[in-house]
């Protein structure tokens, strides 16, 4: 029991190796969308005082962000399937 290194972690001479996910760009965009959404939530009260308009702004942004992320995820998956010959 002198070797305390776990066998389940992939490793080579250079160090740890983990294959990059094809969805990493989408994850980055999700982070950007969330940050912009929080900022929009904060400044929304200063943009307009009408609750209905605030709701429409946030709802519209949410729907736009959802459609954008679905589109980007589907295109990333298609590119992976195309590269694998599927």
Alpha-helical (H) ranges within the chain are: 24-47, 51-83
Over residues 2-41, the pLDDT tens digits come to: 556 556 655 666 666 777 888 999 999 999 999 999 999 9
The stretch 55-73 carries a mean pLDDT of: 97
Residue 84 clears pLDDT 90, i.e. is over it: no
The stretch 60-70 carries a mean pLDDT of: 97
Gap between the Cα atoms of 80 and 32, Å rounded: 23
Over pLDDT 70: what percentage of the chain?
80
Longest Cα pair distance anywhere in the chain, in angstroms? Answer: 68
The predicted model scores a pTM of 0.72
């Amino acid at each position: 029991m002198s070797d305390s290194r776990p066998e389940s972690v992939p490793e080579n001479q250079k160090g740890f190796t983990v294959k990059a996910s094809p969805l990493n760009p989408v994850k980055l965009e999700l982070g950007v969308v969330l940050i912009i959404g929080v900022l929009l939530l904060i400044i929304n009260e200063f943009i307009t005082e009408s609750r209905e308009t605030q709701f429409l702004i946030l709802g519209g942004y949410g729907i736009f962000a959802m459609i954008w992320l679905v589109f980007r995820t589907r295109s990333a998956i298609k590119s992976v399937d195309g590269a694998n010959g599927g």
